[in-house]
Structure 1
Amino acid sequence: MSEDEKTPAREVIADYAQQHFRYFRTADGTVYAQKNGHPVARPIRSQGTSGSHRQELMVGLFNDGLGVFNGTSLKEALDLIEALAMSQPVQQVHIRVAPGFDGATWLDLGRTDGKSVRIHPTGWDILTPDPAEVCWRRTQLTGELPLPVKDTDGKGIDLLLRLCNFATAETECLAIAWLIGCLGPSVPVPAPFLTGPQGAGKSTGGRMLVRVIEGMSGDLRRAPKDEENLITAVAAGWVTALDNLSHMAPDLSDAMCCIVTGAETVKRALHTDGDVYRARYRRPLLLTGIDVGVIRPDLAERLLPLRLERPGVRRTEAELWGEFAEILPIVLGSLLDLTVKVRAAEANIPTDLRMADFAHLCAQLDAATGWGALNAYRASLDDLNDDVIEGDLLAQTVLQHAADIAPGSEQRMTSTEWLHCLTRLYSGEDCRPLPKGWPTTGKVLSDRLKRLQPTLAARGVLIDSGRTKEGRYIEMARPTAPPPHQQEAMV
């Protein structure tokens, strides 16, 4: 055969690729390749060490006797494939958990054979998902989970809690509720904050909770120094766990709020002038630390404090993690059994809590087990409100002033008038100096009060604002009726 009659290398590669792989694009325009019959998808432009499509394409061509091709031919073929894939229907890729058909959800076990867990209304099964239903995205942070054990009769939950040093039964049921929430792809869950005295096993307990979902390779990390690095780490895995926090900067606090409830960032695509890259993220978050200082009110509503106590008997790392690895299949099986029961349970949706989906999950857990998770969640939020108030002198001063307001009445003043009123109350007769960060203008005071609204409302002080012909005002009121959850408790 003459040189002119030979098929160009790029056409050989493109024909082989289209015969053995399925190509599609996501909503942000990224093109993925999925081996026929396998649920794992890889971006065709990835050069990552976790296994790129370029690598698996080269290996497939070599193993099937088609030869070794140079980089230029591969690039030209992938350019063509990428262009053709842009006309294909959009499909989403998922890390670790994903929604399925008919109300089911999927859990990626991280196995090379693609086997995953399908959690459906009547139970759960270990299957290889249809690529049309679920496409998994894997990274270096995607660890392998063992095959869960069937029919454990709840034994795994007890085995897990026996290894953790949770201080109370209420803390234990909140930890289990969080794990169940991590198996839901569309339910925001608050971030557990494992706290306790030095030596209480906070880091170890955090690793155990993470490894139930992420496998034995899951671990804690130090908090990144900037938001961009934090978002990069969050986007590459499912559960993000930050260890040994001692300070919560405002930027980090705001970023954590976005991670828990979901947000999107847009930045310029590399090597382009006009294209942008969109990164959407909502992930389970876990934190550990003894004390992070002052907690901002918006983050407090998204936290789940889990207190640990020092163990009476110490064990070696090898012994502890050896036992954990042994019981992990049973723990995972019991968690899946409980998840099915909880999702099938009927319960009213609490309407007075910020994280309403998680509160509903706690109510379903109570209906399925009778544990009292919802009351424990409310109590934990009350404790966090106390922490916010103890760390905010303005909140303390507002509550001091509100104590003189008769129940069922309100006071209206401009923001400047409120600033003078609260400043005089704080300074007192001895005119003590104002603390650092005290509002200096009416606008700053108005913004601070808006941020404190949920915390003050939990203590029976309502802050509102409005406008009349005379101008804008801030209203402080004390309702006569107790909060809704207190009314429910009295019934």
Structure 2
Amino acid sequence: MSEEEKTPAREVITDYAQAHFRYFRTVDGTVYAQRNGHPVARPIRSQGTTGSHRQELMVGLYRDGIGVFNGTALKEALDLIEALALSQDVQPTHIRVAPGFDGATWLDLGRDDGQSVRIHPTGWTITTPDPREVCWRRTQLIGELPMPARETNGKGIDLLLRLTNFASADTESLAVAWLIGCLEPSVPVPAPFLTGPQGAGKSTAGRMLVRIVEGMTGDLRRAPKDEENLITAVAAGWVTALDNLSHLAPDLSDLMCCIVTGAESIKRALFSDGDVVRSRYRRPLLLTGIDVGVIRPDLAERLLTLRLERPKVRRTEAELWAEFEEALPVILGSLLDLTVKVRSTAAETPTDLRMADFAHLCAQLDAADGLGTLSAYRASLDDLNDDVIEGDVLAQTVLKHAAELDPGAETRMTSTEWLHRLSALHSGEELRPLPKGWPTTGKVLSDRLKRLQPTLAARGVLIDWGRTRNGRYIELTRRPATPGHAQPPLH
């Protein structure tokens, strides 16, 4: 055959690729490749250590006897494939959990054969998802899960709770509710904060909760030093677990709020002047620590306090983890059984809590198993509100002012007048100096009150903003007690 009659290498590669792989794009324009009949998708530009599409294409060409091609031919072929794929329909990729058809959800077991768990209203099955229904994205943080056991009769939940040191049955039910929430891709779940005395096994319990969803390679991490590193880690896995926190800086606190309820990060693409890279993230978050100091009100609404106690009998790490690894298939099977049961149970959605989806899940768990999860969740939020108030002198001063009002009474003043009133109330007759961080202007006071608004409302003090012809005002009202309910304490 003459040189003119030979098919160019880039065409050989392109024909082979389109015959053996499916190509599609995501909403941000990234092009992915899926081997025919396989749910795992790889970005065609990836050079990652978990296996790039370029590598699997080279291996396929070699094993099928097509040949070995140089980098120029592969680059030209992938350039063409990428251009063609940009005209295809948009389809999302998912990490670990994904929504499916007909109300089902999927759990990626991280297996090479692509087998996954399909959780549907009548049960759960293990199968390979249709690539057009679910596209899994794999990273180094996606570990392999064992095949879940069947017909466990709830034994796995008991095994898990026996291996942990949760302080009460209410705490145990909240931990189980959080695990169920981790299997639902569309439900934001509050971040558990595992706390307790030194030696209570907080890190061990945190690892166990994470490894139920992420496999035995899942682990806790130190909090990254900057926002970009944390977002990168969050976007590459499903559950993000930060260990041994002792302080929450304002920037980290705000970022945690975004991780729990969802946000988007945009940064300039490498080696480009005008293009950008979008990172969307909403992930389950888990924290451990003895005390993190002052908690900001917006984060308090997104936390779930799980208290642990020191074990009476100590066990070696090797013994403990060997037992957990052996029990993991049963634990996962029991969790899937309970998830199906909870999702099929009807319950009213509480309308007074910020994390309404999780509150509804707690109500469903109570209706399904007769537990007191929702009341335990409310008690956890009350404790966190107390922590916020104890760490905020301004909140204490506002509650002190409200305590002098009759129930139902309201006070309306400008922000500057409020600043003078609250400053004088704090200083008192002794003329105590104002603490560090006290608002210095009416605008700063107004912004601080907006952050404290949910915390104060939980104590029966309502803050509102309005405007008249004379200017803006802030209105404070002490909520009257509802019949049959005691007025919440103001201090």
The C-alpha deviation readout for 1:141-182, integer Å capped at 9, x for no partner, is: 000000001110000000000000000000000000000000
What is the match of residue 183 of structure 2? Answer: 183
What residue in structure 2 maps to residue 8 of structure 1?
8
State the identity as a percent. Answer: 83
* CA displacement 1:362-402 (0-9 Å, x = unmatched): 00000000111000000000000000000000000110110
Q: Helix, strand or coil: the match of 1:187?
A: coil
Q: CA deviation at 1:69?
A: 0.8
Distance (whole Å) between structure 1 residues aligned to residue 440 and residue 267 of structure 2: 35
* Deviation for aligned residue 1:7: 1.1
Question: Matched residues in 2 for 1:70 and 1:220: separation?
Answer: 42
1:199 paired residue number: 199
Are 1:240 and 2:236 matched, yes or no?
no
**Paired residue type of 2:72:** T
TM-score by length of 1: 0.98
Secondary structure of 1:66 counterpart: coil
Within 2, Cα distance between the matches of 1:166 and 1:52?
Answer: 42
Structure 1 residue 442, shift from structure 2 partner:
0.6
| Residue pairs, 1:42-441, within 5 angstroms | 42-441=42-441
Instruction: Name structure 2 gaps, 5 residues minimum.
Output: none
Deviation of 1:272 (Å): 1.4
Q: CA deviation at 1:483?
A: 10
SS of 2:473's partner is: strand
Q: Residue 207 of structure 2: SS of its match in structure 1?
A: helix
The code of the aligned residue for 1:69 comes to F
Q: 1 CA distance for matches of 2:348 and 2:77?
A: 56
The code of the aligned residue for 1:98 comes to A
> Partner of 1:232: helix, strand, or coil?
helix
Distance verdict in 2 for CA 1:486–1:233, change over 3 Å: farther
CA distance in 2, matches of 1:319, 1:19: 50
Kindly provide the amino acid, as one letter, of the partner of residue 212 in structure 2: V
Q: State how far apart, in whole Å, the 2-side matches of 1:3 and 1:315 are.
A: 73
Shift of 1:2: 1.5
Q: How far apart are residue 445 of structure 1 and its match? A: 0.5
Deviation at 1:452, TM superposition (A): 0.2
CA deviations 1:170-205 (Å, max 9, x no partner) are: 000000000000000000000000000000000000
Partner residue, 2:30: 30
The CA deviation at 1:6 is 1.2
Q: 1:227 to 1:483 in 2, by over 3 A?
A: farther
Read off the aligned partner of 2:163 and give its amino acid letter. Answer: L
CA distance in 1, matches of 2:420, 2:81: 68
The separation in 1 between residues aligned to 2:19 and 2:419, in whole angstroms, is 72
**Deviation for aligned residue 1:310:** 0.5
**Structure 1 gap ranges (5+):** none
Q: 1:295 offset after TM fit, Å?
A: 0.2
In the alignment, the residues of structure 2 paired with residue 60 and residue 483 of structure 1 have an alpha-carbon distance, to the nearest angstrom, of: 73
Alpha carbons of 1:486 and 1:424: their partners in 2 closer, same or farther (altered >3 Å)?
Answer: closer
**Deviations, residues 429-465 of structure 1 (Å, cap 9, x unaligned):** 1111111100011110011011000000000111111
Tell me the distance in 2 between the aligned counterparts of 1:122 and 1:304: 30
SS of alignment partner, residue 7 of structure 1: coil
Of the structure 1 ranges 268-277 and 127-136, higher mean CA displacement relative to structure 2 is found in 268-277
Is 1:449–2:449 an aligned residue pair? yes
Q: 1:485 to 1:119 in 2, by over 3 A?
A: farther
User: 2: distance between equivalents of 1:391 and 1:485?
Assistant: 27
SS at 1:401's partner residue? helix
Superposed displacement of residue 484, structure 1: 11
Deviation per residue, 1:252-302 (Å, 9 max, x gap):
000000000001111111111111111111000000001100000000000
Q: Which amino acid aligns with 2:469?
A: K
Q: Distance in 2 between matches of 1:13 and 1:484?
A: 75
Counterpart of 1:418 in 2: which secondary structure? helix
Would you say the 8 A contact 1:148–1:330 is kept in 2? yes
- How far apart are the structure 1 equivalents of 2:190 and 2:249? 19
Task: Name the amino acid aligned to 1:216.
Answer: M
Q: Post-superposition shift, 1:3?
A: 1.6
Change (3 A) 1:101 1:485: farther
Q: Distance in 2 between matches of 1:270 and 1:15?
A: 30
SS of the residue 2:55 aligns to: helix
Contact 1:352–1:484, Cα closer than 8 Å, also in 2: no
Secondary structure of 2:33's counterpart equals: strand
Distance apart, 1:481 and its partner CA: 3.3
Partner-residue secondary structure (3-state), 1:402: helix
Question: Offset of 1:469 from its aligned partner?
Answer: 1.1
Using a 3 Å threshold, how does the CA distance of structure 1 residues 76 and 254 change in structure 2: closer, same or farther?
Answer: same
CA contact (8 A) 1:460 1:483 kept: no
Alignment check: 8 A CA contact 1:458 1:483 kept: no
Structure 1 residues 228 and 441: alpha-carbon distance in aligned structure 2, compared to 1, 3 A threshold: same
Distance 1:408 1:448 in 2: 23
CA distance in 2, matches of 1:425, 1:49: 61
Distance 1:483-1:354 versus aligned 2 partners, 3 A rule? farther
TM-score, reference length from structure 2: 0.98
Q: Give 1:79's aligned amino acid.
A: D
Deviation at 1:68, TM superposition (A): 1.1
Shift of 1:482: 3.6
SS in 2 for 1:22: strand
**What is the one-letter code of the residue matched to 1:91?**
Q
Q: For 2:411, what is the secondary structure of its paired residue? A: strand
The 1:36–1:486 alpha-carbon spacing in structure 2 relative to 1, beyond 3 Å, is farther
Secondary structure in structure 2 of the residue aligned to 1:477:
strand
Task: Name the SS for the 1:377 alignment partner.
Answer: helix
The change in CA–CA distance for 1:464 and 1:483 in structure 2 (over 3 A counts) is farther
Taking the aligned partners of 2:5 and 2:400, their CA distance within structure 1 comes to: 91
Q: When the two structures are aligned, how many residues end up with a matched partner?
A: 487
| Equivalent residue letter for 1:200 | A
Cα distance in 2 between the residues matched to 1:85 and 1:470: 60
> Which residue type is aligned with residue 457 of structure 1?
A
Dislocated runs of 4+, deviation >4 Å: 483-487
Per-residue CA deviations over 1:410-438 (Å, capped at 9, x if unaligned) read 01111111111111111111111111100
Counterpart secondary structure, 1:119: strand
Cα distance in 1, alignment partners of residues 53 and 313 from structure 2: 49
